[in-house]
Amino acid sequence: MTMLKGNLMFGQSGGPTSVINASAAGVFIEALKHADVIEKVYGAANGIVGILNEKFYDIGEEDPAELELLKYTPSSSLGSCRYKLANADVDDTDYKRILEVFKKYNIRYFFYNGGNDSMDTCNKISKFMQKSGYDCRVMGVPKTIDNDLFGTDHCPGFSSAAKYIATTTMEVYQDARVYDTGMICVIEVMGRHAGWLTAATRLASEKGAGPDLIYLPEVPFDLDQMLADVKAIYAKTGKVIIAVSEGVQTKDGKFIPELVATDDVAVDSFGHKQLGGTATVLADYLKKETGSKVRGIELSLMQRCASHCASKSDYEESFLAGQTAVLKAIEGLTDYMVGFERADSSEYACQIKLIPLNDVANTEKKVPLEWINKEGNFVNEEYVKYALPLIIGETEQPKEDGLPRFAHLKKVLVNKK
């Protein structure tokens, strides 16, 4: 083990989750124990943007009890960003600036917490530091409700979102069938390219209170076929629940809002189309086509921040991922993302696995096509076997007056050098 003394920089990036701060807690609480190696622990304000702007917090100033509460506090407490680094071969301005900041503040440990785009950022920084001969141990800490990171059994953040989605679907199922009239309900779930989250509604079906139809982005979407599917079930029972991913596309690459609406779809800074309105648009369409009562429900931000309904294993594993990044980096490892491998046991258990950042960056893991029925409108038992163990166990989130007690950080800014 080569001892590398210096400071640590941790940043959060991309869309937040219910448990992203549990990873921050893991990094911070573990790092603060190793003052002999890691002298200062910094948290970047708004991820890479905070580094570029030399805006970061001194975590050593925080109350340890509040850092513990980060485990149960949803969303990115340090602030997040969606900043995309250029290819260093084309434009290395940002990289040089990051190197300059790292040198100025003696950053020798850099951990970045995020999904696909963030692991790409992390990988690019790691490679640039290596190329520059600057000794900095870089680790990716995974986070994404989308569950689409390569090489890991699942991603921190997914299990809690899945638990919230399955729970809420069960509740909506009860509600959507109380009247003696027909009812169609469209539940829109997040997920641009991967259907892991939308498929979580299937867990509600396992309990007899889930959707009749599930449409994932892994399968080309056909509006006419969906209408036929809905009409067939409606004719039998008068009640239809549809779970649909915001990201489903026709074989010509059109999203639902583009199919039935005329507005242009906005694009974010990563070039991703800003979707939304799928439930509303589809509900309006089904109302017109069937004459039935239809309700569109968008699970919106709630599905990624409902920490009151977090999965126990999820915040424990998120914490562990952060903690492991620190321990492995101190041991001398670099250029990896922390991942999970599921034990081959009847009881659910996962162990840590390290995946080279190169393998992770920008590779998307999708729901296996064998887990989707051949009609492309439901998910089979294989998905249940995979996902159900992840949502078992309730949160121990502390409450105050019946409401969650979130961490209150002081966020003491480090003086610019």
| Catalytic residue set | 146
Residue 264 has what DSSP assignment? Answer: P
Please, which residue, 203 or 214, has the CB nearer to its own copies?
A: 203
Token pair for residue 221?
């979407």
Candidates 60, 182, 404, 413; binder of its own copies (CB under 8 A) is: 404
Please, which residue, 35 or 301, has the CB nearer to its own copies?
A: 301
**Rounded to 10 degrees, what is the CA torsion of 344, 350, 354, 356?**
80
Q: Which of 272, 312, 320, 283 is nearest to 394 (CA)?
A: 312
Q: Does 165 bind its own copies (CB under 8 A)?
A: no
Q: Does 168 bind its own copies (CB under 8 A)?
A: yes
Q: Does 237 bind its own copies (CB under 8 A)?
A: no
Q: Does 308 bind its own copies (CB under 8 A)?
A: yes
Candidates 19, 28, 67, 80; binder of its own copies (CB under 8 A) is: 80
169, 211 contact by CB (below 8 A):
yes
Q: Rounded to whole angstroms, how far apart are CA atoms 115 and 213?
A: 28
19, 162 contact by CB (below 8 A):
no
**Rounded to 10 degrees, what is the CA torsion of 220, 224, 228, 231?**
120
Q: How far is the CB of 352 from its own copies (least distance, A)?
A: 23
Given the rule CB under 8 A, which of 58-66, 84-92, 112-120, 203-211 is the region that contacts its own copies?
Answer: 203-211
249, 255 contact by CB (below 8 A):
yes
Q: Does 171 bind its own copies (CB under 8 A)?
A: yes
Reduce the DSSP state of residue 1 to 3 states and report it.
Answer: coil
User: In 238-277, which ranges are continuous DSSP H helix?
Assistant: 256-260
39, 328 contact by CB (below 8 A):
no
Candidates 163, 202, 239, 365; binder of its own copies (CB under 8 A) is: 163
Candidates 100, 179, 228, 288; binder of its own copies (CB under 8 A) is: 179
Please, which residue, 271 or 402, has the CB nearer to its own copies?
A: 402
Q: How far is the CB of 374 from its own copies (least distance, A)?
A: 27
Site for its own copies in 206-235 (CB under 8 A): 206-209
Distances (CA, A) of 165 to 45, 146, 154, 210, 267: 30, 13, 16, 10, 26
The alpha carbon of 192 is separated from its chain's Cα centroid by a whole number of angstroms, namely: 12
Residue 157 has what DSSP assignment? Answer: T
Tell me which amino acid residue 203 is. Answer: L
Q: How far is the CB of 306 from its own copies (least distance, A)?
A: 6
Q: How far is the CB of 49 from its own copies (least distance, A)?
A: 6
Site for its own copies in 287-306 (CB under 8 A): 295, 297-298, 300-302, 304-306
Q: Site mask, its own copies, residues 9-28, x = CB under 8 A?
A: ---x---x-x----------
Site residues (vs its own copies, CB under 8 A): 12, 16, 18, 45-46, 49, 73-77, 79-82, 163, 166-168, 170-172, 174-180, 203-204, 206-209, 277, 280, 295, 297-298, 300-302, 304-309, 311, 388, 391-394, 399-404, 406, 408
